[in-house]
Amino acid sequence: MIEHIGPQLFNGLVLGAFYAIVALGLSLIMNLTGTINMAHGSFMTLAGYLAYTMVLRKVPFGWALILAPLIAVLVGIIVERTLVRPLYKREPFYSLLMTFGLSLMAEEAFRLIWGPNGVPFSPPPALAGAASLGFMQFPTFRIFIVVVLLIAIAALALFLTRTRFGLRLRAAVQDTEMIAALGTNTQVLYAVNFSLGIFLAGIAGVLAGGMLGLSPTSGNALLMPAFVTVIIGGMGSLFGSIVGGLLVGIAISMTTLFIPAASEVSMYVLMAIVLLVRPRGLFGEEGIFG
């Protein structure tokens, strides 16, 4: 049993990195516009299927990993401009319902196009096999996933803290009216911010397709843990989403090892404990929907 702890901990980190990156996308969109994007999982699934189709048509996996999320972003921009944007001035409840409806429609569309069952989407041969981490063997593809997700998180952090656009986004989260009065077109900010969230979801979707399988509902399966992640990390905090994701991943993988039957419930228990101690989550801020 003990010898399984190391690999399982690493599995938890991989899973946690997925939750973190999906939660980051959710948080970005929620922080700026108050939109709870229930269709976030659908964008993951879409990117997964697109990458699957590309790889079938001999597009190298590396290219599919970039192109599929970009196409998902294009769809995301259309959705944001036509469906989400008119609801920005309303209560979050409206966009929640709308995006929930959208996710149901997307699920059926995936069924129609790619069939009701899961499709086999395996990692490319170069990333199959296992690599030695010195103290243990570990699947190469999972190491690749962790590296890609870490790069994506670091790139997001750099974008938000080191670029002018990132600065405007951070400011707009605090006061969109004032940022407009300083000469920034907030509609462009909203669209780019939404796209960023979808791009992160897309990358996670392609990688998850190769690790956890790909079916019409696979993205939505990651969505609930991602919401739990946002709540544990604290709404409004991007850093919280990262910490929360890793905690949820480790909680699930450790309970899978010791009490397999409780693996599903463990993240909710974790959430309950965190909320008892810190009602706003670990790094949460006040008045996100104020």
Partner 1 sequence: MSKPLLALDGVCTNYGKIRILRDVSLTVGEGEVVALLGLNGAGKTTTMRSILGLTPPLAGTVKYAGQNITGWPAYRVARLGVGYVPEGRRMFKDLSTLENLQLAENGRGGAWTIPRVFEHLPKLAELRSRKAGRLSGGEQEMLAIGRALVANPHLLLVDEPSQGLAPLIVEDVYRILGELKQTGVAILIVEQNALLALKIADRAYVLDSGRIVHSGAAAELAADRDRIRTLMGLDVAPTG
Contacts to partner 1 by CB under 8 A: 164, 167-168, 170-171, 174-175, 177-186
Nearer to partner 1, 27 or 256 (CB): 27
Number of neighbouring beta carbons within 10 Å of residue 129:
11
DSSP one-letter code for 120: -
Minimum separation from the CB atom of position 272 to partner 1 (A): 29
Contacts 24+ apart (CB under 8 A), 158-163: 159/196, 160/238
Contact yes or no for 84/98 (Cβ under 8 A): yes
Minimum separation from the CB atom of position 178 to partner 1 (A): 5
Minimum separation from the CB atom of position 193 to partner 1 (A): 16
Nearer to partner 1, 137 or 161 (CB): 161
Nearer to partner 1, 71 or 285 (CB): 285
DSSP one-letter code for 84: I
Contact yes or no for 155/88 (Cβ under 8 A): no
Amino acid identity for residue 222 in this structure: L
Contact yes or no for 8/257 (Cβ under 8 A): yes
Minimum separation from the CB atom of position 236 to partner 1 (A): 10
Nearer to partner 1, 175 or 264 (CB): 175
Minimum separation from the CB atom of position 174 to partner 1 (A): 5
Nearer to partner 1, 69 or 281 (CB): 281
Looking at 155-222, which runs of residues are DSSP E strands? none
